[in-house]
């Protein structure tokens, strides 16, 4: 058991917090998380953290604003309780899609979140598979950007790779898909599409040969699953033998415009399997579909926390 380390989790993903602590052999930190009648948050750390190396685990998934504010107050509580160092662990970094001004009079929300966290004087950030890697530059503190790819690679290696093709669902995800394809020694294909608006996409054509292949689309997140389902349909039309998908963050939101949830889209689609990591809890979603496979990244975070606590390099955790 590492000495002087304290790990607390918010309400966003308590199972991941417990799994990380189990890998480290430390107890989950005691914290009372409650709300007043008007939904005002009130976190209370109920054990001594004076002089401790504190890690606060909280993905800022839905409800995004509540989880983000809860994390902010947890950081403040730990710092005011004289913790030696406070590290924010965001397995999923919300607002990452708003990383630049793509039109007039819009915020750079990813930078706003970075400023909010730094305003509470966190000393370090641990996160995984940022939607936009340059977000690391929004921080003036160390950022350890971890990747779920090693976990995915270990899982895929159990398959028959002779017919597998890795597919990027768009041009922007080509780097991630190419790296996975290279690690597995399998071909790469790319879906070229034109996006008319947020959460709306139209598949144009496929670059690469997918006929008779077992195709796996790879992305960093799945939100309303519109892109995913259309991509799968396009691959099947192009002759793919089977189509699956993998993503680190399964937001799986309700599509207001289409009037259908991401889970229902996946369940009704030609997708045979959707692989997700446990950065965002999936327990409820697993009750509504058998197509989702959840892999754990708890050990990656545990190893990173152990390395940070002992002032060791985390580069060995990267692919």
Q: State the catalytic residues.
A: 193
- Render pLDDT for 55-66 as a digit per residue (tens, 0 to 9): 999 999 999 999
Instruction: Answer yes or no: do 123 and 184 share one domain.
Output: no
Judge whether 210 and 187 are in contact, CB under 8 Å: no
Collapse the DSSP code of 111 into the 3-class scheme (helix H, G, I; strand E, B; otherwise coil) and give the result: helix
CATH number of domain containing 162: 3.40.50.2020
CA 65 to chain CA centroid, Å, is 16
Instruction: Answer yes or no: do 97 and 190 share one domain.
Output: no
pLDDT greater at residue 46 or residue 319: 46
- Give me 165's structure tokens: 């093709």
Q: Please, what's the b/e burial string for 172-181 (b: 16 or more CB within 10 A of its CB; e: otherwise)?
A: ebeebbebbb
Instruction: Answer yes or no: do 186 and 108 share one domain.
Output: no
- Render pLDDT for 245-281 as a digit per residue (tens, 0 to 9): 999 999 999 999 899 999 999 999 999 999 999 999 9
CA distance 238 to 287: 32
- Phi then psi for 56, rounded to 5 degrees? -115, 115
Instruction: Answer yes or no: do 125 and 153 share one domain.
Output: no
Domain count, the chain: 2
Residue with tokens 């399964």: 250
Average model confidence (pLDDT) across the chain: 94
pTM of the model: 0.94
Beta strands in the chain (DSSP E): 5-9, 31-35, 41-45, 53-57, 85-90, 124-128, 143-146, 164-168, 188-197, 200-207, 214-222, 242-250, 254-255, 260-261, 273-277, 292-295
Rounded mean pLDDT of 161-178? Answer: 93
Count of CA atoms in the C-beta half-sphere (13 A) of 124: 20
Instruction: Answer yes or no: do 284 and 154 share one domain.
Output: yes
Judge whether 216 and 183 are in contact, CB under 8 Å: no
**Host domain of residue 10:** 5-147+298-317
Instruction: Answer yes or no: do 31 and 62 share one domain.
Output: yes
Judge whether 87 and 71 are in contact, CB under 8 Å: no
Instruction: Answer yes or no: do 43 and 102 share one domain.
Output: yes
Instruction: Answer yes or no: do 34 and 111 share one domain.
Output: yes
Instruction: Answer yes or no: do 111 and 136 share one domain.
Output: yes
Share of the chain above pLDDT 70, in %: 96
**Non-local CB neighbours of 100 within 8 Å, separated by 6+ positions:** 108
Instruction: Answer yes or no: do 257 and 304 share one domain.
Output: no
Q: 78 falls in which pLDDT band (50, 70, 90)?
A: very high
Instruction: Answer yes or no: do 306 and 280 share one domain.
Output: no
- Give me 256's structure tokens: 């207001």
Instruction: Answer yes or no: do 221 and 163 share one domain.
Output: yes
The predicted pLDDT at position 152 comes to 97
């Amino acid at each position: 058991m590492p000495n002087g380390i304290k790990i607390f989790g918010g309400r966003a993903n308590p199972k991941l917090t417990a799994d990380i602590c189990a890998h480290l052999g430390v107890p989950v930190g005691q914290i009372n998380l409650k709300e007043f009648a008007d939904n005002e948050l009130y976190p209370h750390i109920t054990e001594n953290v004076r002089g401790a190396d504190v890690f606060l685990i909280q993905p800022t998934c839905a409800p995004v604003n509540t989880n983000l504010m809860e994390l902010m107050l947890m950081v403040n509580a730990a710092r005011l309780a004289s913790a030696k160092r406070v590290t924010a662990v965001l397995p999923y970094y919300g607002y990452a899609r708003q990383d630049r001004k793509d039109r007039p009079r819009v915020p750079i929300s990813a930078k706003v979140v970075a400023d909010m966290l730094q305003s509470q004087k966190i000393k370090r950030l641990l996160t995984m598979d940022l939607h936009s890697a340059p977000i690391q530059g929004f921080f003036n503190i160390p950022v350890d950007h971890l990747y779920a790819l090693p976990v995915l690679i270990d899982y895929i290696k159990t398959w028959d790779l002779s017919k597998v093709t890795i597919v990027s669902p768009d041009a922007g995800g080509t780097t991630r898909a190419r790296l996975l394809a290279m690690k597995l020694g399998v071909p790469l294909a790319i879906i070229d599409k034109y996006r008319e608006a947020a959460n709306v996409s139209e598949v144009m054509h496929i670059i690469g040969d997918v006929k008779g292949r077992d195709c796996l689309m790879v992305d960093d997140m799945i939100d309303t699953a519109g892109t995913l389902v259309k991509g799968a349909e396009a691959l099947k039309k192009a002759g793919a033998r089977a189509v699956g998908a993998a993503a680190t963050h399964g937001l799986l939101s309700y599509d207001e415009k289409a009037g259908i949830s991401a889970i229902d889209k996946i369940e009704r689609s030609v997708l045979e399997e959707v692989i997700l990591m446990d950065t965002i809890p999936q327990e409820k979603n697993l009750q509504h579909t058998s197509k989702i496979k959840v892999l754990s990244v708890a050990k990656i975070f545990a190893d990173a926390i152990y390395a940070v606590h002992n002032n060791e390099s985390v580069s060995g955790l990267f692919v």
